[in-house]
Amino acid sequence: MKIVVYSPFAAAEMEAALNGLPGFHAVVAKDKQAALAHIADAEGISIPMSLFDDDVGRALTQAKQIRWIHFVSSGTDPLLKWPAGPGVVVTNSADAWAPTVAEHAVAMLLGVLRQFPAMNDLRATQTWAQLDLRPKLRSLEASTVLILGFGAIGQRAAELMRPFNPRVIAVGRTARAHPLVERVAGVGEIDALLPQVDAIVAALPSSPQTRHLMSAERLALLPNNAVIVNVGRGETFDEAALTAALIEGRIAGAGLDVYEREPLPKDNPLWSAPNLILSPHVAGVGRSHLFGRLVACCVRSAKGLSLNGQPPA
């Protein structure tokens, strides 16, 4: 089974690991031209969303033998435009990225609660504003945190927050009990939950159902001391409404790693919004253990092809 590895992350390591499995022949594509050439007679591809453009989508649609698409990323967003063909197995690497993304989310949450952006602004002007800052400082302890999306990232974020003793409620596809949170609520409960939360951590994938899930109307339900962190997809929030809420002081702050348009345009008003941490979609990066986890996800998914009754040719 020929697999094209087209990735800036752990490509050589994935190639070696896949070639160690019976029935697999992996080749690394150094650039898009090489990837497109290999796709024509390949049966699988390992690729991050960032490299899955229209050319790749078109090539995969036209390829006759593709049976497996593995995303070296936590999402599968390109398939919304270029759906996988019948019988094609789709896997991703959410478990590999989750620990670092969750770490980034909690770091931003703590930074905003502790007014780090404001402190950095004060440092730039050598202003000692102790009395002004004191009433704005917040603690995660005893706060109510709502996690939107309770997959691998949401669960890891809940685990990381535990030592700070917040009250954590999650929202998932279905309501259920879970040991990491007070409970997992269904999507239909969001409106009732928003008025009581102190912070939101969003880790939702991109889909028609999640686009602008946090609309202007829902943002208006939040108390004005609420803090928002988004490490999922930018389109989860109505960005214009979120920006207005920040600038007008209707929410207390935010930490954003994802945006409706990336790179964030230079004229976007988020650049100057108050008490806001902006990071350029890097929440998952942290090489020390990431590459090993990415390889493990790819290999586990490859082995699963045989378990699903589709042994490699």
Our count of domains for the chain comes to 2
163 and 295 fall within a common domain:
no
Which sign, positive or negative, has the C-alpha torsion 141, 144, 145, 150?
positive
Per the CB < 8 A criterion, the answer to whether 1 and 44 are in contact is yes
107, part of any domain: yes
- The CATH number assigned to the domain holding 255 equals 3.40.50.720
165 and 249 share one domain? yes
Which DSSP symbol is given to 202? E
Is 313 contained in some domain? no
| pLDDT of 312 | 52
Looking at the structure, tell me whether residues 37 and 158 fall in a common domain.
no
Are 274 and 199 found together in one domain?
yes
Whether residue 233 lies in the annotated active site: yes
Examine the domain organization and report whether 186 and 205 are in the same domain.
yes
Catalytic residue status for 104: no
CA dihedral 153→158→162→167, nearest 10 degrees, is 160
| 281 is known as an active-site residue | yes
Q: Which domain holds residue 38?
A: 2-92+287-307
> Residue 289 has what pLDDT?
87
Q: Which of 262, 287, 289, 300 is catalytic?
A: 262
User: What pLDDT shows up at residue 307?
Assistant: 62
pLDDT mean values, one per 10 residues, the chain (313 residues): 96 97 96 98 97 98 96 94 95 95 98 97 96 96 98 97 98 96 97 98 94 98 98 98 98 98 97 96 88 96 76 50
